[in-house]
Amino acid sequence: MMSSDDSDIDERSKGGRYTDDGSYSDGRLDIAHKRRDDRRAEEMQMKSAAGKRIRDLEEKVIEMEETNRKLRAEIQTVKKSTNRSTKTAIRNDNAWTCEEGNLADKVTAFCKEYLFPRYKFLKEGWMDYDPENESSFCFFVGNKMTEMYANMRIRTIGAQFESEWDRVYVPTIALKYTHMRCNLGNDIRTQYFGK
- Beta strands of the chain (E only): which ranges? 17-18, 24-25
Neighbours of 172 (CB within 10 A): 24
DSSP class of residue 121 equals S
**pLDDT tens for each residue of 14-37:** 555 666 666 655 666 667 777 888
Whether the per-residue pLDDT at 52 is higher than 80: the answer is yes
Beta-carbon neighbour count of residue 11 at 10 Å?
11
**What is the reported pTM?**
0.50
pLDDT tens readout for residues 94-105: 777 888 888 888
Question: Model confidence over 70-112: pLDDT tens digits?
Answer: 888 877 766 665 555 677 777 777 777 888 888 888 888 888 8
Alpha carbon 171 to its chain's center: 22
Among candidates 84, 104, 101, 91, which has minimal Cα distance to 169? 104
